[in-house]
Amino acid sequence: MSRTRSSWSPKQPTNYHHRRNYHQSTEDDVKGGRGGLNGNNNALEWRLCGRSGLIKPPRAHYDNVSGMIVLNMDHFCPWVANTIGYANYRYFLLMLFWTFVGCAYVVLMLTPRVYYYGIGSKLYILVIYVTAFSFSVVLTMFLAFHSFLISTGQVVCSM
Protein backbone atom coordinates (compact mmCIF):
# COMPACT_ATOMS: atom_id res chain seq x y z
CA MET A 1 0.00 0.00 0.00
CA SER A 2 1.48 3.34 -0.96
CA ARG A 3 1.17 6.58 0.89
CA THR A 4 -0.96 9.13 -0.86
CA ARG A 5 -1.49 12.78 -0.18
CA SER A 6 -4.80 12.09 1.51
CA SER A 7 -3.11 9.99 4.22
CA TRP A 8 -0.81 12.85 5.28
CA SER A 9 -1.93 15.01 8.17
CA PRO A 10 -0.29 18.23 9.36
CA LYS A 11 -0.12 16.82 12.90
CA GLN A 12 2.67 14.44 11.94
CA PRO A 13 6.09 15.62 13.12
CA THR A 14 8.02 17.26 10.33
CA ASN A 15 10.85 18.82 12.32
CA TYR A 16 14.01 17.07 11.22
CA HIS A 17 16.39 19.90 12.13
CA HIS A 18 17.74 17.96 15.13
CA ARG A 19 19.49 15.56 12.74
CA ARG A 20 22.95 16.51 11.57
CA ASN A 21 24.23 16.16 8.06
CA TYR A 22 25.19 12.58 7.16
CA HIS A 23 28.76 13.60 6.34
CA GLN A 24 29.22 15.59 9.56
CA SER A 25 28.67 12.69 11.95
CA THR A 26 31.53 11.82 14.20
CA GLU A 27 32.86 8.57 15.58
CA ASP A 28 31.31 9.44 18.96
CA ASP A 29 27.85 9.45 17.37
CA VAL A 30 28.39 5.95 16.02
CA LYS A 31 29.95 4.51 19.19
CA GLY A 32 27.50 6.32 21.45
CA GLY A 33 24.69 3.96 20.57
CA ARG A 34 22.88 6.08 17.98
CA GLY A 35 22.82 3.28 15.44
CA GLY A 36 23.51 -0.02 17.17
CA LEU A 37 21.44 -2.44 19.16
CA ASN A 38 21.60 -1.48 22.83
CA GLY A 39 25.04 0.00 22.25
CA ASN A 40 26.61 -3.45 21.90
CA ASN A 41 29.50 -4.04 19.58
CA ASN A 42 27.89 -6.44 17.08
CA ALA A 43 27.37 -6.87 13.36
CA LEU A 44 24.19 -4.77 13.34
CA GLU A 45 25.90 -1.63 14.58
CA TRP A 46 26.51 1.39 12.39
CA ARG A 47 30.20 2.18 12.19
CA LEU A 48 32.66 4.47 10.46
CA CYS A 49 34.33 3.38 7.26
CA GLY A 50 38.10 3.34 7.63
CA ARG A 51 38.70 4.26 4.00
CA SER A 52 36.09 6.89 3.20
CA GLY A 53 35.39 8.25 6.69
CA LEU A 54 31.62 8.00 6.17
CA ILE A 55 29.15 6.13 8.33
CA LYS A 56 28.60 2.55 7.15
CA PRO A 57 25.23 0.86 7.71
CA PRO A 58 25.17 -2.74 8.92
CA ARG A 59 26.21 -5.29 6.25
CA ALA A 60 27.70 -2.57 4.05
CA HIS A 61 31.19 -2.70 2.60
CA TYR A 62 33.53 -0.26 0.93
CA ASP A 63 34.11 -1.10 -2.72
CA ASN A 64 37.64 -0.34 -3.92
CA VAL A 65 36.67 -0.34 -7.58
CA SER A 66 33.84 2.21 -7.43
CA GLY A 67 35.08 4.01 -4.31
CA MET A 68 31.63 3.86 -2.70
CA ILE A 69 30.01 2.21 0.29
CA VAL A 70 27.68 -0.49 -1.06
CA LEU A 71 24.79 -1.76 1.02
CA ASN A 72 24.63 -5.56 1.24
CA MET A 73 27.60 -5.84 -1.10
CA ASP A 74 27.89 -9.22 -2.79
CA HIS A 75 30.79 -8.93 -5.24
CA PHE A 76 32.19 -6.97 -8.15
CA CYS A 77 30.98 -8.45 -11.40
CA PRO A 78 33.18 -7.77 -14.45
CA TRP A 79 30.37 -8.86 -16.80
CA VAL A 80 28.08 -6.15 -15.46
CA ALA A 81 31.04 -3.79 -14.83
CA ASN A 82 29.53 -2.82 -11.48
CA THR A 83 29.39 -3.91 -7.87
CA ILE A 84 26.50 -6.26 -7.12
CA GLY A 85 24.70 -5.19 -3.98
CA TYR A 86 21.27 -4.46 -2.55
CA ALA A 87 20.17 -2.18 -5.39
CA ASN A 88 20.99 -4.45 -8.31
CA TYR A 89 21.13 -8.03 -6.98
CA ARG A 90 17.76 -8.80 -8.52
CA TYR A 91 18.90 -7.68 -11.96
CA PHE A 92 22.11 -9.68 -11.61
CA LEU A 93 20.09 -12.84 -10.91
CA LEU A 94 17.77 -12.11 -13.82
CA MET A 95 20.79 -11.66 -16.08
CA LEU A 96 22.13 -15.06 -14.93
CA PHE A 97 18.76 -16.72 -15.43
CA TRP A 98 18.03 -15.36 -18.91
CA THR A 99 21.58 -15.99 -20.09
CA PHE A 100 21.16 -19.58 -18.92
CA VAL A 101 17.82 -19.84 -20.74
CA GLY A 102 19.42 -18.51 -23.94
CA CYS A 103 22.35 -20.92 -23.75
CA ALA A 104 20.06 -23.86 -22.96
CA TYR A 105 17.86 -22.92 -25.94
CA VAL A 106 20.88 -22.90 -28.27
CA VAL A 107 21.99 -26.28 -26.93
CA LEU A 108 18.51 -27.77 -27.35
CA MET A 109 18.18 -26.45 -30.90
CA LEU A 110 21.62 -27.62 -32.01
CA THR A 111 21.57 -31.05 -30.32
CA PRO A 112 19.63 -32.82 -33.13
CA ARG A 113 21.93 -31.36 -35.79
CA VAL A 114 25.13 -32.24 -33.91
CA TYR A 115 23.76 -35.71 -33.09
CA TYR A 116 22.75 -36.37 -36.71
CA TYR A 117 25.91 -35.06 -38.41
CA GLY A 118 28.33 -35.71 -35.53
CA ILE A 119 31.89 -34.47 -35.95
CA GLY A 120 31.25 -34.04 -39.67
CA SER A 121 29.03 -30.99 -39.12
CA LYS A 122 30.39 -27.55 -39.78
CA LEU A 123 33.06 -26.29 -37.40
CA TYR A 124 31.23 -23.11 -36.38
CA ILE A 125 28.18 -25.19 -35.33
CA LEU A 126 30.37 -27.32 -33.09
CA VAL A 127 32.07 -24.26 -31.59
CA ILE A 128 28.71 -22.62 -30.84
CA TYR A 129 27.35 -25.87 -29.41
CA VAL A 130 30.33 -26.50 -27.11
CA THR A 131 30.45 -22.85 -25.99
CA ALA A 132 26.71 -22.71 -25.23
CA PHE A 133 26.85 -26.03 -23.41
CA SER A 134 29.84 -24.90 -21.32
CA PHE A 135 28.20 -21.59 -20.43
CA SER A 136 24.94 -23.30 -19.48
CA VAL A 137 26.80 -25.67 -17.10
CA VAL A 138 28.68 -22.78 -15.46
CA LEU A 139 25.52 -20.66 -15.21
CA THR A 140 23.68 -23.58 -13.61
CA MET A 141 26.34 -23.67 -10.89
CA PHE A 142 26.15 -19.87 -10.43
CA LEU A 143 22.36 -19.98 -10.17
CA ALA A 144 22.48 -22.86 -7.67
CA PHE A 145 25.08 -21.05 -5.56
CA HIS A 146 23.19 -17.74 -5.53
CA SER A 147 19.91 -19.56 -4.81
CA PHE A 148 21.63 -21.09 -1.78
CA LEU A 149 22.86 -17.64 -0.71
CA ILE A 150 19.38 -16.15 -1.04
CA SER A 151 17.77 -19.00 0.91
CA THR A 152 20.25 -18.59 3.78
CA GLY A 153 20.31 -14.76 3.73
CA GLN A 154 24.01 -14.48 2.96
CA VAL A 155 26.19 -12.61 0.49
CA VAL A 156 29.53 -13.63 -0.99
CA CYS A 157 31.44 -11.04 1.09
CA SER A 158 30.18 -12.48 4.38
CA MET A 159 31.29 -16.05 3.64
The answer to whether 49 is a known catalytic residue is no
CA-to-CA distance for 81 and 83, rounded, in angstroms? 7
What does the buried/exposed string (b/e) look like for 121-138 if buried means 16 or more CB atoms within 10 Å of the residue's CB? eeeeebeebeebbebbee
The rounded radius of gyration (Å) of the Cα atoms in the chain is: 24
Active-site residue set: 77
